[in-house]
Structure 1
Protein backbone atom coordinates (compact mmCIF):
# COMPACT_ATOMS: atom_id res chain seq x y z
CA UNK A 1 0.00 0.00 0.00
CA UNK A 2 2.80 2.38 0.94
CA UNK A 3 4.57 1.61 -2.35
CA UNK A 4 1.42 2.52 -4.34
CA UNK A 5 1.07 5.73 -2.33
CA UNK A 6 4.67 6.68 -3.10
CA UNK A 7 4.16 5.91 -6.80
CA UNK A 8 1.02 8.06 -6.95
CA UNK A 9 2.80 10.87 -5.13
CA UNK A 10 5.74 10.80 -7.51
CA UNK A 11 3.41 10.76 -10.51
CA UNK A 12 1.46 13.73 -9.17
CA UNK A 13 4.68 15.61 -8.49
CA UNK A 14 5.94 14.93 -12.00
CA UNK A 15 2.69 16.22 -13.51
CA UNK A 16 2.84 19.37 -11.39
CA UNK A 17 6.46 20.01 -12.36
CA UNK A 18 5.68 19.46 -16.06
CA UNK A 19 2.68 21.81 -15.85
CA UNK A 20 4.79 24.41 -14.09
CA UNK A 21 7.46 24.20 -16.81
CA UNK A 22 4.90 24.66 -19.57
CA UNK A 23 3.34 27.62 -17.76
CA UNK A 24 6.75 29.17 -17.14
CA UNK A 25 7.67 28.72 -20.79
CA UNK A 26 4.45 30.38 -21.90
CA UNK A 27 4.87 33.27 -19.46
CA UNK A 28 8.50 33.72 -20.50
CA UNK A 29 7.51 33.89 -24.16
CA UNK A 30 4.76 36.37 -23.30
CA UNK A 31 7.22 38.46 -21.30
CA UNK A 32 9.66 38.52 -24.20
CA UNK A 33 6.92 39.66 -26.60
CA UNK A 34 5.65 42.30 -24.16
CA UNK A 35 9.20 43.54 -23.58
CA UNK A 36 9.72 43.70 -27.34
CA UNK A 37 6.55 45.75 -27.73
CA UNK A 38 7.65 48.17 -25.02
CA UNK A 39 11.03 48.64 -26.68
CA UNK A 40 9.96 48.56 -30.31
CA UNK A 41 11.12 52.10 -30.94
CA UNK A 42 7.69 53.48 -31.76
CA UNK A 43 6.05 53.50 -28.36
CA UNK A 44 5.07 49.84 -28.42
CA UNK A 45 2.69 50.29 -31.34
CA UNK A 46 2.49 47.50 -33.88
CA UNK A 47 1.32 49.22 -37.07
CA UNK A 48 -1.61 47.94 -39.10
CA UNK A 49 -1.53 47.54 -42.89
CA UNK A 50 -2.54 50.77 -44.57
CA UNK A 51 -3.57 49.84 -48.11
CA UNK A 52 -2.61 51.49 -51.37
CA UNK A 53 -0.25 54.48 -51.12
CA UNK A 54 -0.08 54.16 -47.33
CA UNK A 55 2.69 56.44 -46.07
CA UNK A 56 3.31 57.77 -49.56
CA UNK A 57 4.28 56.15 -52.87
CA UNK A 58 6.15 52.85 -52.88
CA UNK A 59 9.92 53.46 -53.03
CA UNK A 60 12.18 52.23 -55.81
CA UNK A 61 15.85 51.44 -56.16
CA UNK A 62 18.17 53.53 -58.32
CA UNK A 63 17.51 51.31 -61.35
CA UNK A 64 13.74 51.68 -60.98
CA UNK A 65 13.14 48.27 -59.43
CA UNK A 66 10.55 48.31 -56.63
CA UNK A 67 12.22 48.49 -53.23
CA UNK A 68 10.80 45.88 -50.85
CA UNK A 69 13.13 46.89 -48.03
CA UNK A 70 14.56 49.87 -46.23
CA UNK A 71 14.90 53.36 -47.61
CA UNK A 72 17.19 54.43 -44.77
CA UNK A 73 20.19 52.47 -43.54
CA UNK A 74 19.39 50.46 -40.46
CA UNK A 75 15.71 51.37 -40.20
CA UNK A 76 12.49 49.52 -40.87
CA UNK A 77 11.08 46.03 -41.34
CA UNK A 78 7.80 44.29 -42.16
CA UNK A 79 5.61 43.10 -39.30
CA UNK A 80 3.91 39.69 -39.65
CA UNK A 81 0.16 39.76 -39.04
CA UNK A 82 -1.64 36.94 -37.28
CA UNK A 83 -4.07 35.11 -39.52
CA UNK A 84 -5.13 31.99 -37.64
CA UNK A 85 -7.81 31.05 -40.15
CA UNK A 86 -6.66 31.02 -43.77
CA UNK A 87 -10.25 30.53 -44.90
CA UNK A 88 -10.88 34.12 -43.75
CA UNK A 89 -8.35 35.47 -46.28
CA UNK A 90 -9.21 32.98 -49.02
CA UNK A 91 -9.80 34.59 -52.43
CA UNK A 92 -9.83 31.55 -54.71
CA UNK A 93 -12.00 29.55 -54.37
CA UNK A 94 -14.52 31.91 -52.75
CA UNK A 95 -14.65 31.97 -48.95
CA UNK A 96 -18.08 30.33 -49.05
CA UNK A 97 -16.53 27.19 -50.57
CA UNK A 98 -13.68 26.95 -48.10
CA UNK A 99 -10.23 25.45 -48.54
CA UNK A 100 -10.41 22.45 -50.92
CA UNK A 101 -9.00 19.70 -48.71
CA UNK A 102 -8.41 16.11 -49.57
CA UNK A 103 -10.25 14.10 -46.86
CA UNK A 104 -7.11 13.03 -45.00
CA UNK A 105 -5.71 16.57 -45.01
CA UNK A 106 -8.93 18.01 -43.59
CA UNK A 107 -8.98 15.41 -40.82
CA UNK A 108 -5.36 16.14 -39.93
CA UNK A 109 -5.89 19.91 -39.89
CA UNK A 110 -8.95 19.56 -37.67
CA UNK A 111 -6.99 17.34 -35.30
CA UNK A 112 -4.14 19.84 -35.12
CA UNK A 113 -6.58 22.70 -34.57
CA UNK A 114 -8.56 21.01 -31.78
CA UNK A 115 -6.07 18.74 -30.08
CA UNK A 116 -2.48 19.76 -30.56
CA UNK A 117 -0.65 22.18 -28.34
CA UNK A 118 2.39 24.37 -28.74
CA UNK A 119 4.48 21.31 -27.99
CA UNK A 120 3.53 19.82 -31.38
CA UNK A 121 3.89 22.94 -33.50
CA UNK A 122 7.08 22.52 -35.58
CA UNK A 123 7.96 26.18 -34.99
CA UNK A 124 8.18 25.42 -31.26
CA UNK A 125 11.11 23.16 -32.15
CA UNK A 126 12.81 25.94 -34.15
CA UNK A 127 11.74 24.39 -37.45
CA UNK A 128 11.70 27.10 -40.18
CA UNK A 129 8.41 28.48 -41.46
CA UNK A 130 7.55 27.59 -45.06
CA UNK A 131 5.54 29.28 -47.80
CA UNK A 132 3.51 32.26 -46.58
CA UNK A 133 3.69 31.13 -42.95
CA UNK A 134 6.37 33.71 -41.95
CA UNK A 135 4.01 36.53 -42.99
CA UNK A 136 0.94 35.26 -41.14
CA UNK A 137 2.46 33.99 -37.89
CA UNK A 138 1.80 37.19 -36.01
CA UNK A 139 3.83 38.25 -33.01
CA UNK A 140 6.58 40.84 -32.96
CA UNK A 141 9.28 39.16 -35.01
CA UNK A 142 9.93 41.18 -38.18
CA UNK A 143 10.85 40.21 -41.73
CA UNK A 144 13.27 41.99 -44.05
CA UNK A 145 14.04 41.80 -47.75
CA UNK A 146 17.63 42.57 -48.75
CA UNK A 147 17.80 43.17 -52.50
CA UNK A 148 21.12 42.44 -54.20
CA UNK A 149 20.76 43.55 -57.84
CA UNK A 150 24.37 42.80 -58.76
CA UNK A 151 24.07 39.24 -57.43
CA UNK A 152 20.57 38.93 -58.94
CA UNK A 153 18.98 37.63 -55.80
CA UNK A 154 16.92 38.72 -52.82
CA UNK A 155 17.57 37.59 -49.26
CA UNK A 156 14.49 37.23 -47.10
CA UNK A 157 15.48 37.46 -43.43
CA UNK A 158 13.15 36.18 -40.70
CA UNK A 159 13.73 36.70 -37.00
CA UNK A 160 11.44 33.82 -35.96
CA UNK A 161 12.00 30.97 -35.20
CA UNK A 162 15.72 31.51 -35.07
CA UNK A 163 17.11 33.88 -37.70
CA UNK A 164 16.24 31.87 -40.80
CA UNK A 165 16.68 33.18 -44.31
CA UNK A 166 15.97 32.11 -47.84
CA UNK A 167 17.49 32.98 -51.19
CA UNK A 168 15.15 34.13 -53.94
CA UNK A 169 17.15 33.75 -57.15
CA UNK A 170 16.47 36.29 -59.91
CA UNK A 171 19.19 35.18 -62.34
CA UNK A 172 16.92 33.17 -64.63
CA UNK A 173 17.91 29.76 -63.29
CA UNK A 174 15.42 26.90 -63.17
CA UNK A 175 14.56 24.74 -60.21
CA UNK A 176 16.78 21.70 -59.62
CA UNK A 177 15.68 18.47 -61.25
CA UNK A 178 12.74 16.56 -59.81
CA UNK A 179 15.12 13.81 -58.73
CA UNK A 180 17.35 16.26 -56.86
CA UNK A 181 14.39 17.91 -55.16
CA UNK A 182 13.09 14.52 -54.05
CA UNK A 183 16.50 13.47 -52.74
CA UNK A 184 17.26 16.75 -50.97
CA UNK A 185 14.01 18.46 -49.92
CA UNK A 186 14.27 21.39 -47.51
CA UNK A 187 12.06 23.13 -44.98
CA UNK A 188 11.70 26.31 -47.04
CA UNK A 189 12.10 24.82 -50.49
CA UNK A 190 13.91 26.24 -53.52
CA UNK A 191 12.79 29.71 -54.62
CA UNK A 192 13.21 31.49 -57.94
CA UNK A 193 11.64 34.82 -58.81
CA UNK A 194 11.03 37.47 -61.43
CA UNK A 195 9.39 40.86 -61.66
CA UNK A 196 6.04 41.43 -63.34
CA UNK A 197 5.85 45.20 -63.33
CA UNK A 198 5.85 46.27 -59.68
CA UNK A 199 5.12 42.74 -58.42
CA UNK A 200 7.73 40.21 -57.35
CA UNK A 201 6.61 36.70 -58.30
CA UNK A 202 8.28 33.92 -56.29
CA UNK A 203 8.01 30.27 -57.32
CA UNK A 204 8.96 27.70 -54.66
CA UNK A 205 9.13 23.89 -54.78
CA UNK A 206 11.19 21.17 -53.11
CA UNK A 207 9.63 21.24 -49.64
CA UNK A 208 10.06 18.48 -47.13
CA UNK A 209 7.04 17.48 -45.05
CA UNK A 210 8.33 18.76 -41.72
CA UNK A 211 6.40 22.06 -41.68
CA UNK A 212 2.84 23.36 -41.47
CA UNK A 213 1.42 25.78 -44.03
CA UNK A 214 0.18 27.99 -41.20
CA UNK A 215 -0.18 28.21 -37.43
CA UNK A 216 -3.47 26.27 -37.61
CA UNK A 217 -1.73 23.20 -38.96
CA UNK A 218 -2.81 23.06 -42.60
CA UNK A 219 -0.76 20.11 -43.89
CA UNK A 220 1.17 19.64 -47.08
CA UNK A 221 3.23 16.98 -48.81
CA UNK A 222 6.49 17.12 -50.75
CA UNK A 223 4.40 17.94 -53.84
CA UNK A 224 3.66 21.44 -52.51
CA UNK A 225 4.21 24.22 -55.05
CA UNK A 226 3.82 27.80 -53.80
CA UNK A 227 3.51 30.95 -55.91
CA UNK A 228 3.83 34.22 -54.00
CA UNK A 229 3.11 37.66 -55.44
CA UNK A 230 4.49 40.58 -53.42
CA UNK A 231 3.57 44.16 -54.27
CA UNK A 232 4.59 47.18 -52.23
CA UNK A 233 1.51 49.30 -52.80
CA UNK A 234 2.76 52.16 -50.66
CA UNK A 235 5.65 53.08 -48.42
CA UNK A 236 4.00 51.34 -45.46
CA UNK A 237 2.05 48.51 -47.08
CA UNK A 238 2.98 45.18 -48.67
CA UNK A 239 0.25 43.24 -50.47
CA UNK A 240 0.82 39.49 -50.70
CA UNK A 241 -1.00 36.77 -52.61
CA UNK A 242 0.01 33.15 -52.10
CA UNK A 243 -1.22 30.18 -54.12
CA UNK A 244 -0.80 26.63 -52.79
CA UNK A 245 -0.84 23.74 -55.23
CA UNK A 246 -0.49 20.32 -53.62
CA UNK A 247 -2.66 17.69 -55.34
CA UNK A 248 -1.85 15.10 -52.69
CA UNK A 249 -3.36 17.27 -49.92
CA UNK A 250 -5.88 19.49 -51.75
CA UNK A 251 -8.32 18.92 -54.60
CA UNK A 252 -7.28 22.10 -56.44
CA UNK A 253 -4.91 25.06 -56.03
CA UNK A 254 -6.10 27.73 -53.58
CA UNK A 255 -5.07 31.34 -53.00
CA UNK A 256 -5.01 33.69 -50.03
CA UNK A 257 -4.41 37.47 -50.05
CA UNK A 258 -3.48 39.82 -47.22
CA UNK A 259 -1.38 42.88 -46.34
CA UNK A 260 1.55 43.59 -44.03
CA UNK A 261 2.51 46.88 -42.41
CA UNK A 262 5.90 48.55 -42.46
CA UNK A 263 7.39 49.34 -39.06
CA UNK A 264 9.76 52.27 -39.72
CA UNK A 265 11.58 51.87 -36.40
CA UNK A 266 11.63 48.08 -36.24
CA UNK A 267 14.61 45.84 -36.91
CA UNK A 268 15.52 42.19 -36.61
CA UNK A 269 17.09 41.53 -33.24
CA UNK A 270 18.80 38.62 -31.56
CA UNK A 271 16.53 35.60 -31.19
CA UNK A 272 18.04 32.31 -30.06
CA UNK A 273 16.27 29.07 -30.92
CA UNK A 274 18.10 25.75 -31.05
CA UNK A 275 16.46 22.70 -32.61
CA UNK A 276 17.14 19.08 -31.71
CA UNK A 277 16.08 15.70 -33.02
CA UNK A 278 13.25 15.14 -30.53
CA UNK A 279 10.68 16.62 -32.92
CA UNK A 280 11.35 13.74 -35.29
CA UNK A 281 10.76 11.06 -32.61
Structure 2
Protein backbone atom coordinates (compact mmCIF):
# COMPACT_ATOMS: atom_id res chain seq x y z
CA UNK A 1 0.00 0.00 0.00
CA UNK A 2 2.86 2.42 0.78
CA UNK A 3 4.82 1.85 -2.45
CA UNK A 4 2.96 4.70 -4.19
CA UNK A 5 2.93 7.15 -1.27
CA UNK A 6 4.25 10.48 -2.50
CA UNK A 7 4.80 9.24 -6.06
CA UNK A 8 3.80 11.50 -8.94
CA UNK A 9 1.51 9.92 -11.53
CA UNK A 10 0.22 11.42 -14.79
CA UNK A 11 -2.92 9.87 -16.28
CA UNK A 12 -4.25 10.84 -19.70
CA UNK A 13 -7.91 10.28 -20.50
CA UNK A 14 -8.60 10.59 -16.78
CA UNK A 15 -12.12 12.02 -16.88
CA UNK A 16 -13.91 8.66 -17.02
CA UNK A 17 -13.66 4.90 -17.50
CA UNK A 18 -10.52 3.12 -16.39
CA UNK A 19 -8.55 6.40 -16.33
CA UNK A 20 -10.78 7.76 -13.57
CA UNK A 21 -10.69 4.45 -11.71
CA UNK A 22 -6.89 4.28 -11.90
CA UNK A 23 -6.85 7.79 -10.42
CA UNK A 24 -9.11 6.72 -7.53
CA UNK A 25 -7.07 3.62 -6.67
CA UNK A 26 -3.77 5.52 -6.97
CA UNK A 27 -5.01 8.32 -4.69
CA UNK A 28 -6.16 5.74 -2.15
CA UNK A 29 -2.58 4.45 -2.12
CA UNK A 30 -1.11 7.88 -1.50
CA UNK A 31 0.00 9.02 -4.95
CA UNK A 32 -0.08 12.61 -6.16
CA UNK A 33 -1.88 12.90 -9.47
CA UNK A 34 -1.95 14.91 -12.66
CA UNK A 35 -5.22 14.25 -14.47
CA UNK A 36 -5.43 15.12 -18.16
CA UNK A 37 -8.44 15.01 -20.47
CA UNK A 38 -10.41 17.17 -22.88
CA UNK A 39 -13.24 17.74 -20.37
CA UNK A 40 -11.91 20.04 -17.66
CA UNK A 41 -15.22 20.13 -15.77
CA UNK A 42 -15.10 16.40 -15.07
CA UNK A 43 -11.47 16.69 -14.02
CA UNK A 44 -12.30 19.47 -11.56
CA UNK A 45 -14.93 17.21 -10.00
CA UNK A 46 -12.37 14.39 -9.77
CA UNK A 47 -9.88 16.72 -8.11
CA UNK A 48 -12.45 17.80 -5.53
CA UNK A 49 -13.45 14.19 -4.84
CA UNK A 50 -9.91 12.86 -4.44
CA UNK A 51 -8.46 15.73 -2.40
CA UNK A 52 -11.43 15.64 -0.03
CA UNK A 53 -11.01 11.93 0.69
CA UNK A 54 -7.22 11.46 0.50
CA UNK A 55 -4.16 13.39 1.65
CA UNK A 56 -2.78 13.82 -1.86
CA UNK A 57 -2.21 16.62 -4.36
CA UNK A 58 -4.25 16.52 -7.55
CA UNK A 59 -3.50 18.75 -10.54
CA UNK A 60 -5.84 18.91 -13.51
CA UNK A 61 -5.23 20.22 -17.01
CA UNK A 62 -7.32 20.24 -20.14
CA UNK A 63 -5.53 18.39 -22.91
CA UNK A 64 -6.41 16.98 -26.30
CA UNK A 65 -3.61 14.48 -26.94
CA UNK A 66 -4.14 14.77 -30.70
CA UNK A 67 -2.57 18.25 -30.46
CA UNK A 68 1.27 18.02 -30.25
CA UNK A 69 1.67 21.70 -29.39
CA UNK A 70 -0.80 21.38 -26.52
CA UNK A 71 1.08 18.33 -25.24
CA UNK A 72 4.35 20.26 -25.13
CA UNK A 73 2.71 23.20 -23.36
CA UNK A 74 0.81 21.17 -20.78
CA UNK A 75 3.61 18.74 -19.98
CA UNK A 76 6.10 21.59 -19.59
CA UNK A 77 3.72 23.17 -17.08
CA UNK A 78 3.16 19.85 -15.30
CA UNK A 79 6.88 19.17 -14.97
CA UNK A 80 7.25 22.61 -13.47
CA UNK A 81 4.54 21.84 -10.93
CA UNK A 82 5.77 18.38 -9.97
CA UNK A 83 9.51 18.52 -10.46
CA UNK A 84 9.54 14.94 -11.72
CA UNK A 85 7.20 12.19 -12.89
CA UNK A 86 7.36 8.66 -11.50
CA UNK A 87 4.63 7.04 -13.61
CA UNK A 88 2.90 7.96 -16.86
CA UNK A 89 -0.32 6.14 -17.71
CA UNK A 90 -1.14 6.64 -21.39
CA UNK A 91 -4.83 5.87 -21.23
CA UNK A 92 -6.40 8.36 -23.68
CA UNK A 93 -7.86 6.63 -26.71
CA UNK A 94 -10.97 5.82 -28.67
CA UNK A 95 -12.22 3.53 -31.40
CA UNK A 96 -14.85 3.43 -34.12
CA UNK A 97 -16.01 0.09 -35.47
CA UNK A 98 -16.58 0.17 -39.23
CA UNK A 99 -15.98 -2.04 -42.21
CA UNK A 100 -12.67 -1.09 -43.78
CA UNK A 101 -14.18 0.32 -46.97
CA UNK A 102 -16.64 2.43 -44.95
CA UNK A 103 -14.07 3.97 -42.60
CA UNK A 104 -13.79 7.73 -43.08
CA UNK A 105 -10.28 9.08 -43.64
CA UNK A 106 -10.87 11.83 -41.05
CA UNK A 107 -11.79 9.23 -38.42
CA UNK A 108 -8.82 7.03 -39.35
CA UNK A 109 -6.45 9.97 -38.92
CA UNK A 110 -8.10 10.99 -35.66
CA UNK A 111 -7.72 7.50 -34.19
CA UNK A 112 -4.03 7.39 -35.05
CA UNK A 113 -3.49 10.94 -33.77
CA UNK A 114 -4.99 10.09 -30.37
CA UNK A 115 -4.18 6.40 -29.88
CA UNK A 116 -0.66 6.38 -31.32
CA UNK A 117 0.92 9.78 -32.03
CA UNK A 118 -0.48 11.35 -28.87
CA UNK A 119 0.72 8.45 -26.75
CA UNK A 120 4.21 8.72 -28.23
CA UNK A 121 4.30 12.50 -27.79
CA UNK A 122 3.27 12.30 -24.12
CA UNK A 123 5.87 9.61 -23.49
CA UNK A 124 8.64 11.65 -25.11
CA UNK A 125 7.94 14.49 -22.68
CA UNK A 126 8.67 12.42 -19.56
CA UNK A 127 11.40 10.09 -20.80
CA UNK A 128 14.39 12.45 -20.47
CA UNK A 129 13.68 13.02 -16.78
CA UNK A 130 13.09 9.33 -16.10
CA UNK A 131 16.32 8.38 -17.84
CA UNK A 132 18.24 11.04 -15.94
CA UNK A 133 16.79 9.89 -12.61
CA UNK A 134 17.13 6.23 -13.63
CA UNK A 135 13.64 5.61 -12.33
CA UNK A 136 10.14 5.59 -13.76
CA UNK A 137 7.35 3.58 -15.31
CA UNK A 138 5.52 4.02 -18.62
CA UNK A 139 2.17 2.21 -18.73
CA UNK A 140 0.47 2.11 -22.11
CA UNK A 141 -3.17 1.07 -22.26
CA UNK A 142 -3.36 -1.01 -25.42
CA UNK A 143 -5.96 -3.72 -26.07
CA UNK A 144 -6.46 -7.36 -26.90
CA UNK A 145 -7.40 -5.87 -30.28
CA UNK A 146 -3.68 -5.21 -30.68
CA UNK A 147 -3.13 -8.95 -30.60
CA UNK A 148 -6.30 -10.30 -32.21
CA UNK A 149 -7.56 -8.41 -35.25
CA UNK A 150 -11.26 -8.83 -35.95
CA UNK A 151 -13.71 -7.60 -38.61
CA UNK A 152 -14.98 -4.01 -38.30
CA UNK A 153 -12.05 -2.99 -36.10
CA UNK A 154 -9.33 -2.80 -38.74
CA UNK A 155 -8.32 0.79 -37.93
CA UNK A 156 -8.69 0.53 -34.16
CA UNK A 157 -6.78 -2.76 -34.17
CA UNK A 158 -4.06 -1.19 -36.32
CA UNK A 159 -3.61 1.61 -33.78
CA UNK A 160 -3.27 -0.87 -30.94
CA UNK A 161 -0.83 -3.02 -32.92
CA UNK A 162 1.21 0.16 -33.29
CA UNK A 163 1.02 0.83 -29.55
CA UNK A 164 2.28 -2.67 -28.78
CA UNK A 165 5.12 -2.33 -31.28
CA UNK A 166 6.16 0.99 -29.77
CA UNK A 167 5.85 -0.34 -26.22
CA UNK A 168 7.94 -3.43 -26.90
CA UNK A 169 10.68 -1.41 -28.59
CA UNK A 170 10.66 1.20 -25.81
CA UNK A 171 11.00 -1.51 -23.16
CA UNK A 172 14.21 -2.76 -24.76
CA UNK A 173 15.57 0.77 -25.20
CA UNK A 174 15.08 1.54 -21.50
CA UNK A 175 16.24 -1.81 -20.12
CA UNK A 176 19.52 -0.34 -18.88
CA UNK A 177 17.93 2.84 -17.50
CA UNK A 178 15.85 1.18 -14.78
CA UNK A 179 12.67 2.55 -16.40
CA UNK A 180 9.86 0.02 -16.63
CA UNK A 181 7.50 -0.22 -19.60
CA UNK A 182 4.21 -2.11 -19.42
CA UNK A 183 1.42 -2.69 -21.91
CA UNK A 184 -2.11 -3.27 -20.64
CA UNK A 185 -4.18 -5.41 -22.98
CA UNK A 186 -7.78 -5.66 -21.79
CA UNK A 187 -10.72 -7.15 -23.57
CA UNK A 188 -13.99 -5.16 -23.69
CA UNK A 189 -14.55 -2.97 -20.62
CA UNK A 190 -17.88 -1.67 -19.36
CA UNK A 191 -17.29 2.03 -20.13
CA UNK A 192 -18.65 4.69 -22.46
CA UNK A 193 -15.98 3.69 -25.02
CA UNK A 194 -18.68 1.78 -26.88
CA UNK A 195 -20.98 4.81 -27.11
CA UNK A 196 -18.67 5.93 -29.93
CA UNK A 197 -17.15 2.63 -31.07
CA UNK A 198 -20.29 0.54 -31.37
CA UNK A 199 -22.84 2.80 -33.04
CA UNK A 200 -25.46 0.08 -33.50
CA UNK A 201 -24.97 -1.59 -30.12
CA UNK A 202 -24.45 -5.00 -31.72
CA UNK A 203 -21.04 -5.67 -30.23
CA UNK A 204 -22.02 -4.68 -26.70
CA UNK A 205 -25.09 -6.90 -26.87
CA UNK A 206 -22.98 -9.90 -27.90
CA UNK A 207 -20.17 -9.47 -25.37
CA UNK A 208 -21.96 -7.87 -22.41
CA UNK A 209 -21.63 -11.03 -20.29
CA UNK A 210 -17.83 -10.97 -20.74
CA UNK A 211 -17.21 -7.26 -20.16
CA UNK A 212 -14.64 -6.31 -17.56
CA UNK A 213 -15.47 -3.86 -14.78
CA UNK A 214 -13.33 -0.70 -14.94
CA UNK A 215 -12.52 -0.77 -11.21
CA UNK A 216 -11.18 -4.33 -11.57
CA UNK A 217 -8.95 -3.34 -14.50
CA UNK A 218 -7.74 -0.27 -12.61
CA UNK A 219 -6.73 -2.32 -9.58
CA UNK A 220 -4.75 -4.73 -11.77
CA UNK A 221 -2.88 -1.80 -13.27
CA UNK A 222 -2.15 0.00 -9.99
CA UNK A 223 -1.06 -3.25 -8.32
CA UNK A 224 1.76 -3.50 -10.86
CA UNK A 225 2.94 0.08 -10.80
CA UNK A 226 6.71 0.39 -10.31
CA UNK A 227 7.16 -3.33 -10.90
CA UNK A 228 8.95 -4.95 -13.81
CA UNK A 229 5.74 -6.19 -15.45
CA UNK A 230 5.92 -6.72 -19.21
CA UNK A 231 2.20 -7.08 -19.94
CA UNK A 232 -1.13 -7.13 -18.14
CA UNK A 233 -3.57 -9.26 -20.13
CA UNK A 234 -7.23 -9.31 -19.13
CA UNK A 235 -9.11 -11.55 -19.01
CA UNK A 236 -6.59 -14.39 -19.00
CA UNK A 237 -8.74 -16.69 -21.13
CA UNK A 238 -8.87 -14.08 -23.88
CA UNK A 239 -5.11 -13.77 -23.84
CA UNK A 240 -4.91 -17.53 -24.28
CA UNK A 241 -6.82 -16.92 -27.50
CA UNK A 242 -4.20 -14.41 -28.64
CA UNK A 243 -1.46 -16.97 -28.03
CA UNK A 244 -3.38 -19.53 -30.10
CA UNK A 245 -3.85 -16.87 -32.78
CA UNK A 246 -0.11 -16.19 -32.91
CA UNK A 247 0.67 -19.90 -33.25
CA UNK A 248 -2.18 -20.98 -35.54
CA UNK A 249 -3.57 -17.86 -37.25
CA UNK A 250 -5.32 -19.62 -40.12
CA UNK A 251 -7.11 -22.09 -37.87
CA UNK A 252 -8.03 -19.34 -35.41
CA UNK A 253 -9.56 -17.16 -38.11
CA UNK A 254 -11.50 -20.08 -39.58
CA UNK A 255 -12.86 -21.25 -36.24
CA UNK A 256 -13.62 -17.78 -34.93
CA UNK A 257 -15.04 -16.24 -38.11
CA UNK A 258 -18.68 -16.66 -37.12
CA UNK A 259 -18.19 -15.17 -33.66
CA UNK A 260 -16.04 -12.28 -34.92
CA UNK A 261 -18.62 -11.27 -37.52
CA UNK A 262 -21.20 -10.65 -34.78
CA UNK A 263 -19.61 -7.28 -34.11
TM-score, length-scaled by structure 1: 0.25
Larger relative strand fraction? 1
Larger radius of gyration: 1
Larger relative helix fraction? 2
- Does 1 or 2 have the higher relative contact order (CA < 8 Å, sep 6+)? 1
